[in-house]
């Protein structure tokens, strides 16, 4: 057993704030050995980022840190900025979450890399530049000599994150801390970056602390896991143990709330009710007690300590729950820890798809944007083909999802529909009314009653200066519903989405994110629409809150007979909630059909790569499955290609003989197959 | 647009000013004929139709670059050429000193946010920013007179740009400085604070930026990270503001010049209106407009030079 | 707010059910934040005092402001003339009070007018976009090139110092700069999702401007208004100082200082009192504006500690 590289004992961090003293971290202890990966998991407010910043010494000046952090034999707590800066970037390196803002915009990549090197060692400019080129090559950036002189904004998000990793690796650190390094990236890029971090770890023999909220990433990368809640670790175990012998109700809830991309039978998601507590003046009881389905009086007497527990796997497993011994395999006393909500079923499910009325029909939607260059005189230098001919329809009671990565055009598609744009060579028909026949505000307003939208960002979607009642009533007022009737409807809607109508006169700022999203849903339902369009409605929410909103959407669909058009990049959510799916790449569908057919048997190479890139929250499955990792980035949507737009990254294309390759390059594939499953590849 | 605006000004000026009135009411009174003979050759007589006057003025500028003469016969071109440099001498030094001082104070206080030094400077700046120039300038004049009296000789000159009868390189230099000190102090006094606040707020925003945190994570100390990364980025808008204000150096400071009796463009402005000098008024307007436009262009250039993000769309 | 002192947890779903306890209304929250800023509160007191002086002063003055006392030409402050007299015998106390009144009236009128016009024009331009926006911006840019101070000088001079004409002229030349600032801010608001949501609900354009855009730039408008008062005071003062603004027999602080400048060393009180009033006015208003900005605008990182 090698000596631990990093030893944290009883770490406490607190800040002063308007509301009082915030105890962000309350007693974290762990050991980390060289070459191992510790994953710290938690939701917002759990204290995971603060812990990592405390180790680096990058917290605000008014943060009070106590406890012990021993790194490689030296105590870090209490050291000044100057001493710690000799360690940062040298012994300990950090990779941050948002690659778009992590690099200084006014210096070149080369300058920033060289700075990372020269601040710790005295190197000549030439030596430093050579090493910088070597680092860029290691992280997979093509033509590194030229790229040295580029500025950060000339790179995509994935590339920038690679540069950040290069900077982190520059001085062969012993410990790499990665704070949600892939949360802001697309799924296929995430797979590349996680691989890269693993490579970096292998090359340098470094230990890694991976901070994340995504259990799939944990299953993929971690050796040991630390689950944090309300600033405290509530469960600590080796990775297999955590997934298979979960003992803390919060962890069980977390795992139960995650939709699975690999499971076909639809089990309802298990939400955890309530919200995490404010970290001010916490009472001496289990912080999870308000939300825990199996809480007892004993849970309120004292805050439970983190104690060892013996399990079948036999690993070093610590848990902070009074009733942990009674829990086994997600069950306690014979019943599941979390009551499983009922899955709503609808009469419409029995009616075959072809017989149901069409609510939204899109034929050959196209959209291009002009690309301008120049600060003074804008001239058109090209076109961005955002949507290149999309055709699909949605039936009553059906959920259609459009998935794709950023830049594929899915949001543009949504906006085209919402803006009721007349297509030049196609048509959008909403509940039987073609868009091209609409003239004038009145006709438009009539159609808009049937078409409503729920946005991604719960904060931005609600006007902070209107009360909730006004927000929900706005669509009613727009169609001329009298005040009294509108008020009654507002109460009805709030009930429907699970909010207390008594709070209708409050402002959105007083509600939590999940609740705000419910308000947004209530607003969308106000006019009894037939179709609700949802733009990534749960991606800005924590996992445990997501589950509640997803269940609500399911329930409403059944109760009110709605159709949903869902846009998402999270395939697990899509699998759970959608009936049909269209996979979009650079403006067109590459695969389209029933959800189960596509997810169980993906045909197009892009869909295959997409599905294989999603980490599954089960370490056994995750580490043994076959993976397809796409090379490179999404090509620029300005190039107009004759052939298939996926050729630059297609793993199948690379393996084809030349005659078939030329077919891919010159002939654009069309969607072929049945209504249940169609794909756009010549050779599938 | 500038051309249009200038022409509009021409008509406006004629709407409000009447050069004839300069001569009316003189003792001994001039006859109508005499006044006409004075005004007509100068294209300032209202006996000619307005459009004719306008055309004459317009063609004079376009073909001969002659902006006309004042009611007393002084060439406008000449006046502007001379006064431009007088204003420049007065304002350029003050502008640069104000900017440098403001930026320095901004940087200093940003890294000591909320501490005593920051609060003290904030207090000083907010007061100086809002004292009207006339109060500040006259207050300084009073102070200077008091010092002069106490010292027994004239250390500070409160009027004019230079004294008569001074020759030789050094004496002229010192004399100029003596005349320059007070107005410069006045202008810097009220001008530095806007740079202070701008620089401070920009720097504070940038200090909290992610890339400064990355720089620290690389191993730079907090001070190093702020100096190298936050400062460089925050200078861009400040430099833009400075670039924008440089050309206006030549348009002078109306009130300051009036108080200190410098014959610069600012004072010219007041005089031309007072003396019904139509051509002068219009020329000043055109001059100011051109310089503002140059300032805007300089500011845009500054952004392109300093901010690599702007170069590619 | 103090996002600088709490490590902001990632994501919107963080804090607790603050539901039933004491609910702080938005205005009370603003009030509390404003009151914590002591210089701003001091500014309020000073400003209130000045307003009082402007209103009550002329009533309690022994002399009318235009009355000339030929027996006391240019005398220093004493029992009869509390602030002394000007070179022509006018009572400085009365003159200062009336001058203050005049300056205040002009400044408030101008600022209200400017704020209202710039707000509506700026937000409408941002929201409606397209040709409307282009036309409005063209007008704004054109007016920026036009020599506005010159026009102001010409118009006021010609009007013989009538304060209403001066105010109107000042509104005319000062609305477009704040309109441009409001336009940029409204542009960023226009992209907010709740504006899109309103559009998709079928709410008519002008209603969106009034219901969503204007209230959300409300804090900017309040701050603009107070700064506008300061700016207007300074502009009018400068104008009157060089003789083009308020003219004899009417007085404003600027004209008083202009006259006082001529007898600066011999009768400095003719300068001191109007200058003091003027400086207190501008500085107090600026402190109030600063305090308002910190209280109302949660994004000002350079604000005082909340």
Q: Shortest CB distance from A89 goes to which of B218, B307, B309? A: B218
Tell me the mean pLDDT in the region C213-240.
82
- For residue range B229-274, list pLDDT tens digits in order: 888 888 888 888 888 777 767 766 778 887 887 777 777 887 877 7
The whole-angstrom distance between A536's CA and the closest CA on chain B is: 26
Q: Is the pLDDT of residue B284 over 90?
A: no
Q: Is the pLDDT of residue C33 over 60?
A: yes
Q: How far apart are CA A97 and CA A179, in angstroms?
A: 6
* pLDDT-based confidence at residue C300 (cuts at 50, 70, 90): very low
Cβ-Cβ contacts under 8 Å between A and C: the total is: 123
CA-nearest residue to A455 within chain C is C193
Instruction: Phi first, then psi: give them for residue C91, nearest 5 degrees.
Output: -75, 120
Q: How far apart are CA B222 and CA B218, in angstroms?
A: 11
Tell me the mean pLDDT in the region A182-207.
86
Q: Do A45 and C9 make contact, defined as CB atoms within 8 angstroms?
A: yes
Tell me the mean pLDDT in the region C287-302.
67
Asked which of A17-26, A643-652, B48-57, C236-245 is least confident by mean pLDDT, the reply is B48-57
Q: Is the pLDDT of residue A126 over 50?
A: yes
* pLDDT-based confidence at residue C6 (cuts at 50, 70, 90): very low
Touching B: A residues 165-184, CB under 8 Å: 167-168
Strand bridging mode A358-373 / A399-403 = unpaired
Instruction: Phi first, then psi: give them for residue A594, nearest 5 degrees.
Output: -70, 145
* pLDDT-based confidence at residue A264 (cuts at 50, 70, 90): low
Q: Do B201 and C285 make contact, defined as CB atoms within 8 angstroms?
A: no
Contacts of C218 in chain A (CB under 8 A): 465
A649 Rama class: left (phi>0) / alpha (psi -120 to 50) / beta: alpha
Q: How far is CA A625 from the centre of its chain?
A: 22
Would you state the pLDDT for residue A40?
93
Cis preceding linkage at C249, omega within 30: yes
Would you state the pLDDT for residue B232?
84
Q: Is the pLDDT of residue A177 over 90?
A: yes
A427-450 residues labelled b (16+ CB within 10 A) or e (exposed)? bbbbbebebeebeeeeeebebbbb
* pLDDT-based confidence at residue A164 (cuts at 50, 70, 90): very high
Q: How far apart are CA B281 and CA C154, in angstroms?
A: 10
Touching C: B residues 177-206, CB under 8 Å: 197, 200-201, 204-205
In chain C, count H helices and then E strands. Answer: 13, 0
Among A62, A117, A120, which Cα is nearest to A87's? A120
* pLDDT-based confidence at residue A278 (cuts at 50, 70, 90): confident
Would you state the pLDDT for residue C20?
30
Asked which of A75-79, A90-94, B289-293 is least confident by mean pLDDT, the reply is B289-293
CA-nearest residue to A454 within chain C is C197
Q: Do B126 and C282 make contact, defined as CB atoms within 8 angstroms?
A: no
Of C103 and C249, which is predicted with more confidence? C103
Q: How far apart are CA A188 and CA C224, in angstroms?
A: 48
* pLDDT-based confidence at residue C304 (cuts at 50, 70, 90): very low
C237, B134 Cβ separation under 8 angstroms = yes
Which chains does B contact via 3+ CB–CB distances below 8 A? A, C
Would you state the pLDDT for residue C14?
30
Q: Is the pLDDT of residue A1 over 60?
A: no
Distances (CA, A) of B161 to B33, B151, B158, B185: 40, 22, 9, 15
Among A59, A96, A318, A93, which Cα is nearest to A207's? A93
Q: How far apart are CA A576 and CA A559, in angstroms?
A: 18
Would you state the pLDDT for residue A612?
85
- pTM of the full predicted structure? 0.77
Tell me the mean pLDDT in the region A465-469.
83
* pLDDT-based confidence at residue C297 (cuts at 50, 70, 90): low
Which chains does C contact via 3+ CB–CB distances below 8 A? A, B
Would you state the pLDDT for residue A537?
86
Would you state the pLDDT for residue C301?
37
Tell me the mean pLDDT in the region A227-239.
90
Among A171, A203, A196, A169, which Cα is nearest to A181's? A196
Q: Do A88 and B214 make contact, defined as CB atoms within 8 angstroms?
A: no
Q: Shortest CB distance from A88 goes to which of B210, B212, B216? A: B216
Would you state the pLDDT for residue A640?
67
Tell me the mean pLDDT in the region A528-552.
85
Would you state the pLDDT for residue C37?
79
Q: Is the pLDDT of residue C306 over 50?
A: no
- For residue range B29-55, list pLDDT tens digits in order: 677 777 777 777 777 766 677 777 777
Would you state the pLDDT for residue A226?
93
Q: Is B291 on the interface with C (CB under 8 A)?
A: no
Distances (CA, A) of B6 to A431, B84, B251, B266, B297: 59, 19, 16, 18, 19
Q: Shortest CB distance from C2 goes to which of A17, A464, A510? A: A17
Q: How far apart are CA A237 and CA A219, in angstroms?
A: 12
Which chains does A contact via 3+ CB–CB distances below 8 A? B, C
Tell me the mean pLDDT in the region A234-255.
88
The contacts of residue A470 (CB under 8 Å, 6+ apart) are none
Instruction: Classify C24 as helix, strand or coil.
Output: coil
Asked which of A56-70, A597-611, C192-206 is least confident by mean pLDDT, the reply is C192-206
The contacts of residue A646 (CB under 8 Å, 6+ apart) are A585, A586, A590, A605, A606, A653
Of C84 and A288, which is predicted with more confidence? A288
Asked which of A216-225, A308-317, C16-25 is least confident by mean pLDDT, the reply is C16-25
Average pLDDT of the residues of chain A: 84
Strand bridging mode A580-585 / A399-403 = parallel
Would you state the pLDDT for residue C210?
76
Q: Is B107 on the interface with C (CB under 8 A)?
A: no
* pLDDT-based confidence at residue A374 (cuts at 50, 70, 90): low
Contacts of B308 in chain A (CB under 8 A): 105-106, 151, 153
Q: Do C306 and A475 make contact, defined as CB atoms within 8 angstroms?
A: no
Instruction: Classify A598 as helix, strand or coil.
Output: helix
Q: Do C147 and B258 make contact, defined as CB atoms within 8 angstroms?
A: no
Tell me the mean pLDDT in the region A188-201.
87
Tell me the mean pLDDT in the region C166-181.
84
Q: Do C15 and A22 make contact, defined as CB atoms within 8 angstroms?
A: no
Contacts of A373 in chain B (CB under 8 A): 312-313
Instruction: Phi first, then psi: give them for residue A176, nearest 5 degrees.
Output: -115, 125
What percent of chain B is predicted at pLDDT more than 90?
0
Q: Is the pLDDT of residue A38 over 90?
A: yes
Per-residue tokens: B158: 């409160």
User: C-alpha angle A260/A261/A266, rounded to 5°?
Assistant: 60
- For residue range A660-681, list pLDDT tens digits in order: 888 888 877 888 888 788 888 8
Contacts of A49 in chain C (CB under 8 A): 7, 10
DSSP A102: S
The whole-angstrom distance between A526's CA and the closest CA on chain C is: 10
DSSP string, C30-74: HHHHHHT-HHHHHHHHHHHHHHHHHHHHHHH-SS-TT-B-TT-TT
Q: Is the pLDDT of residue A486 over 60?
A: yes
Q: Is the pLDDT of residue C24 over 50?
A: no
CA-nearest residue to A97 within chain B is B210
Contacts of A82 in chain B (CB under 8 A): 221
A584, A389 Cβ separation under 8 angstroms = no
Per-residue tokens: A445: 């307003």
Would you state the pLDDT for residue C25?
55
The contacts of residue B69 (CB under 8 Å, 6+ apart) are B42, B43, B44, B75, B76, B279
Contacts of A444 in chain C (CB under 8 A): 202
Q: Do B217 and A89 make contact, defined as CB atoms within 8 angstroms?
A: yes
Asked which of A148-157, A263-272, B288-297, C250-259 is least confident by mean pLDDT, the reply is A263-272
Asked which of A85-89, A103-107, A238-242, B144-148 is least confident by mean pLDDT, the reply is B144-148
Q: Shortest CB distance from B307 goes to which of A82, A101, A106? A: A106
Q: Is the pLDDT of residue A344 over 60?
A: yes
The whole-angstrom distance between A125's CA and the closest CA on chain B is: 18
Q: Shortest CB distance from A167 goes to which of B218, B310, B312? A: B218
Pick the most confident of A207-211, A468-472, A525-529, B1-5: A207-211
* pLDDT-based confidence at residue A554 (cuts at 50, 70, 90): confident
Instruction: Classify A30 as helix, strand or coil.
Output: strand
Would you state the pLDDT for residue A532?
92
Would you state the pLDDT for residue A225?
93
Q: How far apart are CA A569 and CA A456, in angstroms?
A: 12
* pLDDT-based confidence at residue C21 (cuts at 50, 70, 90): very low
A432, A512 Cβ separation under 8 angstroms = no
Would you state the pLDDT for residue B166?
67
Q: Do C14 and A276 make contact, defined as CB atoms within 8 angstroms?
A: yes
């Amino acid at each position: 057993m090698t000596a631990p590289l990093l030893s944290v004992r009883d770490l406490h961090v607190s800040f002063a704030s308007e509301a009082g003293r915030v105890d962000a971290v309350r007693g974290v202890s762990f050991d980390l050995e060289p070459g191992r990966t510790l994953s710290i998991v938690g939701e917002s407010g759990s204290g995971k980022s603060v812990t990592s910043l405390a180790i680096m010494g990058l917290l605000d000046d008014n943060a009070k840190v106590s406890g012990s952090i021993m790194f490689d034999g030296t105590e870090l707590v209490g050291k000044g900025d100057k001493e710690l800066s000799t360690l940062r970037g040298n012994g300990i390196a950090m990779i941050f979450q948002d690659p778009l803002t992590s690099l200084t915009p006014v210096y070149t990549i080369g300058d920033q890399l060289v700075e990372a090197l020269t601040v710790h060692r005295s190197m000549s400019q030439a030596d430093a530049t050579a090493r910088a080129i070597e680092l860029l090559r290691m992280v997979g950036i093509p033509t590194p000599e030229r790229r040295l002189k580029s500025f950060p904004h000339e790179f995509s998000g994935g590339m920038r994150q690679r540069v950040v990793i290069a900077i982190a690796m520059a001085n062969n650190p012993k410990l790499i801390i990665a704070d949600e390094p892939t949360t802001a990236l697309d799924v296929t890029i995430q797979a590349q970056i996680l691989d890269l971090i693993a490579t970096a770890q292998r090359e340098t023999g470094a230990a890694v602390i991976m901070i994340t909220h995504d259990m799939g990433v944990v299953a993929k990368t971690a050796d040991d896991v630390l689950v944090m809640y309300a600033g405290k670790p509530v469960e600590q175990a080796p990775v297999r143990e955590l997934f298979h012998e979960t003992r803390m109700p919060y962890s069980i809830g977390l795992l139960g709330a995650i939709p699975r991309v690999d499971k076909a039978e639809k089990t309802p998601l298990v939400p955890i009710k309530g919200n995490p507590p404010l970290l001010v003046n916490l009472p001496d009881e289990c912080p999870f007690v308000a939300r825990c389905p199996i809480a007892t009086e004993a849970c309120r007497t004292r805050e439970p300590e983190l104690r060892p527990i013996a399990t079948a796997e036999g690993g070093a497993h610590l848990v902070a729950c009074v009733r942990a011994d009674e829990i086994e395999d997600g069950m306690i006393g014979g019943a599941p820890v979390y009551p499983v909500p009922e899955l709503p079923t609808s009469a419409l499910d029995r009616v075959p798809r072809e017989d149901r009325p069409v609510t939204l029909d899109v034929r050959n939607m196209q959209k291009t944007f002009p690309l301008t260059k120049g600060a003074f005189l804008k001239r058109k230098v090209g076109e961005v083909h955002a949507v290149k001919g999309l055709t699909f329809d949605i039936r009553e009671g059906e959920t259609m999802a459009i998935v794709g990565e950023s830049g594929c055009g899915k949001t543009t598609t949504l906006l085209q529909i919402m803006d009721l744009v007349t297509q030049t060579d196609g048509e959008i028909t909403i509940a039987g009314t073609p868009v091209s026949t609409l003239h004038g505000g009145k006709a438009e307003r009539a159609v808009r009653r049937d078409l409503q939208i729920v946005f991604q960002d719960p904060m931005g979607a609600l006007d902070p200066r209107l009360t909730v009642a006004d927000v929900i009533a706005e669509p009613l007022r727009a169609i001329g519903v009298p005040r009294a009737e509108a008020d009654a409807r507002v109460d009805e809607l709030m009930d429907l989405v699970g909010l207390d109508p008594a709070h209708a006169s409050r402002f959105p700022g007083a509600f939590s994110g999940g609740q705000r999203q419910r308000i947004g849903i209530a607003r969308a339902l106000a006019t009894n629409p037939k179709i609700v369009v949802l733009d990534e409605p749960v991606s800005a929410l924590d996992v445990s809150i997501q589950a509640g909103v997803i269940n609500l959407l399911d329930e409403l669909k059944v109760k009110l007979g709605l159709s949903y058009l869902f846009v998402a990049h999270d395939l697990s959510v899509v699998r759970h909630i959608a009936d049909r799916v269209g996979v979009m790449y650079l403006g067109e569908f590459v695969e389209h059909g029933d959800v189960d057919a596509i997810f169980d048997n993906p045909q197009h190479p892009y869909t295959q790569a997409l599905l294989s890139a999603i980490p599954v929250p089960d370490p056994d499955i995750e580490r043994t499955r076959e993976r397809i990792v796409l090379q490179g980035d999404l090509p620029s949507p300005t190039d107009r290609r004759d052939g298939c737009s996926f050729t630059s990254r297609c793993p199948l294309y690379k393996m084809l003989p030349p005659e078939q390759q030329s077919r891919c390059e010159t002939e654009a594939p069309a969607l072929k197959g049945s209504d249940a499953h169609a794909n756009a590849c010549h050779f599938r | 647009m500038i051309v249009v605006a200038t022409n509009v000004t021409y008509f406006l000026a004629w709407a409000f000013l009447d050069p004839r009135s300069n001569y009316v009411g003189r003792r001994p009174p001039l006859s109508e004929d005499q006044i006409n003979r004075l005004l007509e050759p100068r294209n300032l007589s209202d006996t000619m139709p307005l459009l004719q006057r306008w055309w004459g003025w317009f063609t004079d500028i376009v073909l001969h670059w002659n902006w006309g003469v004042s009611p007393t016969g002084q060439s406008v071109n000449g006046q502007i050429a001379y006064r431009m440099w007088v204003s420049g001498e007065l304002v350029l030094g003050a502008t640069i000193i104000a900017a440098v001082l403001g930026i320095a104070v901004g940087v200093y206080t940003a890294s000591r946010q909320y501490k005593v030094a920051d609060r003290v400077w904030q207090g000083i700046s907010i007061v100086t920013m809002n004292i009207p120039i006339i109060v500040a300038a006259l207050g300084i004049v009073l102070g200077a007179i008091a010092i002069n009296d106490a010292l027994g000789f004239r250390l500070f000159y409160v009027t004019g740009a230079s004294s008569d009868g001074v020759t030789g390189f050094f004496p002229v230099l010192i004399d100029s400085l003596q005349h320059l000190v007070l107005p410069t102090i006045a202008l810097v006094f009220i001008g530095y604070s806007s740079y202070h606040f701008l620089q401070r707020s920009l720097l504070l925003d940038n200090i909290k930026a992610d890339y400064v945190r990355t720089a620290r994570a690389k191993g730079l100390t907090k001070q190093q990270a702020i100096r190298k990364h936050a400062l460089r980025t925050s200078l861009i808008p400040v430099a833009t503001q400075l670039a924008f204000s440089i050309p206006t150096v030549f348009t002078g400071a109306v009130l300051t010049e009036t108080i200190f009796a410098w014959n610069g463009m600012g004072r010219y402005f007041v005089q031309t209106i007072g003396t019904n000098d139509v051509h002068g008024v219009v020329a000043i307007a055109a001059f100011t407009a051109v310089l503002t436009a140059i300032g805007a262009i300089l500011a845009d250039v500054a952004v392109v030079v300093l901010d690599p993000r702007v170069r590619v769309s | 707010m103090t996002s600088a002192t709490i490590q902001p947890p990632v994501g919107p779903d963080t804090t607790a059910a603050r539901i039933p306890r004491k609910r702080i209304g938005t205005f009370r929250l603003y009030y509390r934040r404003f009151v914590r800023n002591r210089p701003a509160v001091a500014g309020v007191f000073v400003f209130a005092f000045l307003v009082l002086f402007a209103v009550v002063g002329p009533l309690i003055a022994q002399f009318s402001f235009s009355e000339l006392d030929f027996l006391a030409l240019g005398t220093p402050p004493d029992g009869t003339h509390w602030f002394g007299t000007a070179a022509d015998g006018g009572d400085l106390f009365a003159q200062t009070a009336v001058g203050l009144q005049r300056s205040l009236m002009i400044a408030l009128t101008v600022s209200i007018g400017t704020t209202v016009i710039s707000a509506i024009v700026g937000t409408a331009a941002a929201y409606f976009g397209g040709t409307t926006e282009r036309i409005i911006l063209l007008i704004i840019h054109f007016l920026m090139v036009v020599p506005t101070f010159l026009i102001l000088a010409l118009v006021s001079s010609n009007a013989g110092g009538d304060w209403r004409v001066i105010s109107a002229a000042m509104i005319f030349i000062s609305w477009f700069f704040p309109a441009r600032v409001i336009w940029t801010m409204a542009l960023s608001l226009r992209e907010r999702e709740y504006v899109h949501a309103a559009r998709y609900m079928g709410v008519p354009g002008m209603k969106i401007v009034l219901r969503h855009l204007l209230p959300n730039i409300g804090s900017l408008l309040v701050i603009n208004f107070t700064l506008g008062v300061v700016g207007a005071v300074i502009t009018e003062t400068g104008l009157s100082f060089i003789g083009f603004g308020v003219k004899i027999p009417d007085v404003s602080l600027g004209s008083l200082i202009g006259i006082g400048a001529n007898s600066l060393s011999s009768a400095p009180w003719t300068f001191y009192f109007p200058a003091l009033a003027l400086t207190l006015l501008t500085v107090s208003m600026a402190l109030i504006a600063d305090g308002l900005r910190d209280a109302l605008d949660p994004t000002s990182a350079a604000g005082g500690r909340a």
